[in-house]
Structure 1
Amino acid sequence: MRAFHFGLESVLSLRKMKEEEALRRFISVKNLHQKKREALDRIFETRRLAQEEMGAKEEGSVDVKTLLQYQRYLAGLVVQIAAARAELVRLEKELAARREILTSATKDRKVMEKAKEKRFAEWREEFRRAEQKETDEVGTQIYLRDGDGEREP
């Protein structure tokens, strides 16, 4: 009997490649999301430090020009925070979409792998039956050759 061959092996390979590509894209977006999250955290820390510094200067003698510079700087940080938050929201939506694509690709691959496993089990059973048939035929030939199963001691 010939060796096992899965007729849809090329389809399975294609689905594996699609899953790998979906995983790469998901990881890429996830890494970008993490970097943007870290950048937002740094902006928050910068704002906190600037507010502390401005508060310390307000306790002493401060000129109006310096105070206005701090306020403009803080206003710029607020704009950066809003932009970073909007980017994070966009990336979270893209991440959810990429996760859905990856989940679908994984399911598609698993369906093909199950079909391959099922076909292999069928082939293995056919192979076992063929071997058994061959063994039975050899036994029958020996029986017939030896004359109705009678043997001399």
Structure 2
Amino acid sequence: MSFKFSLEPVLKVREHREKVQRQKLAEEMKRKQRISEQKEAVQADLEQFLGQKDKHKVYDVQKLRNSYAHLEHSHNVMGKLERDMQKAEDAIHKERNKLVTAHRETHIMEKAKDREFSAWKEDLERNEQKAMDEIATQYYNR
């Protein structure tokens, strides 16, 4: 006689849901990492551009316009990346909360399984003890 948890399908669904939430959280964290790398690349490009700007003392109007256009573009890109980073952080927070909820639901089912197993084991031991008592009684009556 083996133990079979009555809510095994529910436990499997909740474990799968938790696994999916972990994957979603990992995807959001990768997205945030990509945005962070893009920010670092733009920052490095901007620092390099500003470093080169100091080397050239003579400017004509076109170079000056190009410099300001490049700076403005870089700042616009950084602003967009900052907004994207905030969205990614919000998404990570949301997915993390969903993962906590999914883990809690799975943990509740695992606890229910443990309680059901303990009750099953106690019932099995009680039945075995009854059988042993019956055998002892029959042996004594002979």
Q: State TM-score, norm by structure 2.
A: 0.96
2:15 is aligned to: 16
For 2:52 and 2:112, how far apart are their aligned partners in 1? 66
Give the % identical residues: 25
In terms of Rg, which structure is larger?
Answer: 1
Misfit runs of 4+, over 6 Å: none
Q: State TM-score, norm by structure 1.
A: 0.89
**SS of the residue aligned with 2:5?**
coil
- 1:79-90, aligned counterparts within 5 Å? 79-90=76-87
**SS of the residue aligned with 1:5?**
coil
1:130 is aligned to: 127
2:100 is aligned to: 103
Deviations 1:39-97 (Å, cap 9, x if unpaired)?
A: 1111111111101111111xx33323222212211111000000000001111111111
Q: Give the length in aligned residue pairs.
A: 142
Unaligned runs of 5+ in 2: none
For 2:41 and 2:27, how far apart are their aligned partners in 1? 21
Unaligned runs of 5+ in 1: 146-153
For 1:36 and 1:4, how far apart are their aligned partners in 2? 50
Deviations 1:9-48 (Å, cap 9, x if unpaired)?
A: 0000000011011111111011111110111111111111
